[in-house]
Chains A and B, each alone.
Chain A
Amino acid sequence: MSVTILFLGPLRDIAGEQLREVDGPLDWAGLRDAVGPEVAAQLDEDRVNVACKGRVLADKCALQAEDGDEVALLPPVSGG
Chain B
Amino acid sequence: MARLALSSPLDVRLLDKGLSVGEALAAFNAAYEEAGGIVSFLGKVRPGDGVRALELSHYEPLTLLGMEELAAAAGSRFDLEGALVWHRVGVMSPGETIVLVATAARHRRSAFGAADYLMDHLKSAAWFWKRERRADGWHWIEPRPQDRLDLARWK
Contacts and interface: CB of A to CB of B under 8 A. Distances in A.
Interface of A: 6, 8-10, 13, 51, 54-56, 70, 72, 74-80
A9 to B, nearest CB: 3
B17 to A, nearest CB: 17
B56 interface: yes
A79 B87 contact: yes
Contact of B57 (A8, A54, A55, A76): A8
Size class of the B contact interface (CB-based, 8 Å): 20 to 34
A47 B107 CA distance: 37
A56 B123 contact: no
A8 B99 contact: no
Given A56-B62, A78-B141, A79-B128, 8 more contacts: A9-B57, A10-B131, A76-B143, A77-B129, A78-B123, A80-B43, A80-B87, A80-B128
Contacts of A13: 140
